[in-house]
Amino acid sequence: MTLTALARDIRTPEQDSCEAGDEARLGAVIADTFRSVAAAQGKTLAPLDDGLVLLDSGLDSLCFAIIVATLEDELGFDPFTEAEDVCFPVTFGEFVRFYERDR
């Protein structure tokens, strides 16, 4: 299954779908995006877990810009521009929850 297909599933969940399953799929899409951007940019990505501090991830600001742009293309929204009060995520877990919150 492609990232686009996963993202489509996330954007249009059926009403009886399990919310936790949707969140897990969104987390998987985000993690896959982190990994693919790191590989494309020749960066060594630290193991992804909820407590990983983004500044310690091995990625630079260009990587994060690419991640956010890629996720906007895949998911159809950018919570950084849509949120009224942006509190920038510090950890990978906060990053995922930031996307879940604005979905």
Which pLDDT belongs to residue 97? 93
CB atoms within 10 A of CB 29: 22
Q: What angle do CA 59, 70, 34 make, to 5 degrees?
A: 35
Give residue limits of the domains in the chain. Answer: 3-10+19-101
Of the two residues 2 and 51, the one the predictor is more confident about is 51
Which pLDDT belongs to residue 19? 54
Q: How many CA atoms lie within 13 A of 80 on its CB side?
A: 12
Q: Which CATH class for the 3-10+19-101 domain?
A: mainly alpha
pLDDT band at 7 (very low <50, low <70, confident <90, very high): very low
Span 44-84, pLDDT tens digits: 999 999 999 999 999 999 999 999 999 999 999 999 887 77
